[in-house]
């Protein structure tokens, strides 16, 4: 049985957060067992874009500070950061409120540009991934995901956060390669399998910042801030995600990334086989996250493997000209370059070439990209 520690934590108050994370480590054997003296530790935040610390989108600075202070009791050999989608890491960390605390704690910021390859010998589709070298060249990997819903992946938490090992816009290329949601889920799992192989006999510690998360059209400005008042910790990202889904009352049948991981034995996604430690799930009975609009079951997702059906059955992005500031971020990331922008004008979309990856909405700083209504045919079909 894998172990997942749940700790109720309602505010970003440093001492309290630190105590909760320390207690969580104790349930998992103690920090002495998890991090050897002078180990090289990489701490992976979720810095998807230059969003405010109170947006619920990125790892909160107090979580990062608490983890840094605890890890520094064991080692000074620490690197922290992420690979944001379109902007550089320092700019993004400053906007996320993380830059100052990293400087206060005197630790190094990752340089994601230098890459290396990692491999998955049990991959289903993709057995090789080019990732940032400094992120995988560590003795201990500490993963700090946010607890959020996701328009494409339904929910994003610990396992999906490893997608940030891929540098900047290289992530967009993966959306073209694996352009339907189920294949994208397989790709995330192939990547996660490669991470597990790379960190074989080393520790991966996942600590989910669920004090403030996102519901609805996450994982970015399209989502609505929602408190789950929780920090969830586990050495098994799949189990952590399964428990997070249960805690916020999302539909586990739609958490296809977790389910695919469970089928592959990359972790334990069966709630009955997970040992829950710390606070009881009952204490969160009033917490419930809204799912992304029109999310699909596995059967629906399988149908979408037939490419031409996507245009007939699915909604596509729509730009709100009242909110759009014509920054061009959506066009910059759009994997198949179907969203285009001319200087000073609003972006335009060729919806027939849109792969519905929702990367545009993810990077939009203004929440100016929403979903059109689902076509009538899609409504009937998926019903």
Residues that bind ligand SF4 (CB under 6 A): 317, 319, 324-330, 334-336, 338-339, 341, 347, 349, 354-360, 364, 366, 368-369
Helix axis angle for 61-72 and 14-27, nearest 10°, is 60
Nearer to ligand SF4, 156 or 229 (CB): 156
Structure tokens at 80: 């922290």
Shorter beta-carbon distance to ligand SF4: residue 20 or 160: 160
DSSP assignment of 309-339: HHHHH---EEE-TTT-----HHHHH-TTS-E
Minimal distance in Å, beta carbon 368 to ligand SF4? 4
Nearer to ligand SF4, 195 or 313 (CB): 313
Separation between Cα atoms, residue 134 and residue 163, nearest integer Å? 15
**What is the closest distance, in whole angstroms, from the C-beta atom of residue 353 to ligand SF4 in the complex?**
7
Q: What is the DSSP string of 286-310?
A: T--PPPPTT---HHHHHHTTSHHHH
In the bound complex, what is the minimum distance in angstroms from residue 336's beta carbon to ligand SF4? 5
CA 361/CA 86 separation, integer angstroms: 13
Q: How far is the CB of 130 from ligand SF4 (least distance, A)?
A: 21
The one-character DSSP state at 276 is E
Distance of closest approach, residue 332 Cβ to ligand SF4, in angstroms:
8
Answer yes or no: are the C-beta atoms of 151 and 217 closer than 8 Å: yes
Q: How far is the CB of 337 from ligand SF4 (least distance, A)?
A: 8
Task: Name every residue whose Cβ is closer than 8 Å to that of residue 103 and which is 6 or more positions away in sequence.
Answer: none
Give the residue from 161, 136, 205, 213 showing the smallest Cα distance to 45: 161
Sign, Cα dihedral of 321, 369, 170, 51: positive
The least CB distance from residue 379 to ligand SF4, in Å, is 20
Nearer to ligand SF4, 56 or 347 (CB): 347
Nearer to ligand SF4, 55 or 268 (CB): 55
Smaller CB separation from ligand SF4, 142 or 363: 363
Give whichever of 245 and 354 is closer to ligand SF4, judged by the CB atom.
Answer: 354
Euclidean distance between CA atoms 283 and 254, whole angstroms: 24
């Amino acid at each position: 049985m894998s172990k997942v520690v749940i700790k109720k934590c309602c505010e970003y108050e440093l001492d309290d957060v630190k105590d909760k994370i320390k207690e969580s480590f104790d349930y998992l054997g103690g920090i002495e067992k998890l991090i050897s003296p002078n180990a090289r530790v990489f701490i992976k935040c979720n810095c998807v874009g230059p969003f405010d610390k109170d947006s619920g989108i990125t790892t909160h600075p107090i979580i990062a500070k608490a983890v840094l202070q605890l890890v520094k009791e064991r080692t000074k050999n620490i690197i922290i950061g992420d690979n944001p989608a379109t902007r550089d890491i320092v700019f993004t960390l400053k906007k996320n409120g993380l830059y100052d605390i990293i400087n206060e704690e005197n630790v190094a910021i990752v340089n994601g540009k230098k890459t290396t390859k990692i491999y998955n010998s049990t991959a289903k589709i993709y057995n090789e991934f080019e990732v940032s070298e400094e992120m995988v060249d560590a003795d201990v990997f500490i993963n700090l995901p946010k607890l959020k819903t996701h328009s494409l992946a339904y929910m994003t938490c610990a396992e999906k956060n490893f997608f940030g090992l891929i540098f900047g816009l290289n992530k967009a290329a993966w959306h073209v390669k694996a352009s339907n949601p189920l294949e994208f889920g397989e790709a995330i799992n192939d990547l996660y399998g490669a991470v597990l192989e790379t960190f074989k006999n080393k520790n991966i510690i996942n600590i989910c910042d669920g004090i403030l998360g996102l519901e609805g059209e996450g994982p970015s400005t399209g989502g609505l801030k929602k408190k789950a008042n929780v920090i969830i910790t586990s050495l098994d990202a799949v189990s952590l995600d399964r428990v997070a889904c249960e805690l916020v009352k999302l539909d586990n049948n739609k958490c296809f990334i977790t389910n695919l991981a469970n089928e592959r034995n990359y972790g334990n996604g069966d709630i009955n086989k997970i040992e829950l430690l710390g606070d009881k799930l009952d204490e969160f009975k009033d917490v419930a996250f809204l799912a992304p609009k029109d999310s699909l079951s596995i059967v629906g997702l399988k149908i979408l493997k037939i490419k031409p059906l996507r245009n007939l059955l699915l909604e596509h992005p729509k730009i709100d000209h009242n909110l759009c500031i014509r920054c061009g971020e959506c066009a910059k990331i759009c994997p198949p370059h179907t969203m285009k922008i001319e200087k000073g004008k609003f972006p335009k979309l060729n919806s027939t070439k849109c792969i519905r990856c929702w990367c545009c909405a993810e990077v939009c700083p203004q929440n100016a990209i929403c979903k059109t209504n689902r076509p009538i045919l899609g409504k009937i079909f998926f019903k």
